[in-house]
Amino acid sequence: MTNEEIRAELQRAIGSERVMLFMKGTPDAPRCGFSARVTAMLNESGAEYAAMDILPDPRIRQELSEISGWPTIPQLFVGGELVGGCDIVTEMYESGELAETLGVEHSQSAPAAPQAQGQGQEQGQAAPLQIE
Domain annotation covers residue 126: no
Domain annotation covers residue 130: no
Q: What is the pLDDT of residue 13?
A: 97
pLDDT greater than 60 at residue 127: no
CA–CA gap between residue 15 and residue 120 (Å, rounded): 27
Q: What is the pLDDT of residue 106?
A: 72
CA dihedral 131, 32, 36, 14 (to 10 degrees): -30
Domain annotation covers residue 19: yes
Residues pairing with 81 in the sheet: 78
Domain annotation covers residue 123: no
How many domains does the chain contain in total? 1
Q: Please, is 28 exposed, middle or buried when counting C-beta atoms within 10 Å of its C-beta (0-12, 13-18, 19+)?
A: middle
| pLDDT digit string, tens, across residues 76-122 | 999 999 999 999 999 999 999 999 999 998 765 544 555 655 444 44
Domain harbouring 98, CATH code: 3.40.30.10
| pLDDT digit string, tens, across residues 35-60 | 999 999 999 999 999 999 999 999 99
Domain annotation covers residue 39: yes
Q: What is the pLDDT of residue 37?
A: 97
Domain annotation covers residue 96: yes
pLDDT greater than 90 at residue 69: yes
Q: What is the pLDDT of residue 120?
A: 42
Supply the range of the domain harboring residue 55: 3-102
Q: What is the pLDDT of residue 122?
A: 43
How would you label 61-82 residue by residue, b for 16+ Cβ within 10 Å and e otherwise? bebbbebbebeebbbbbbeeeb
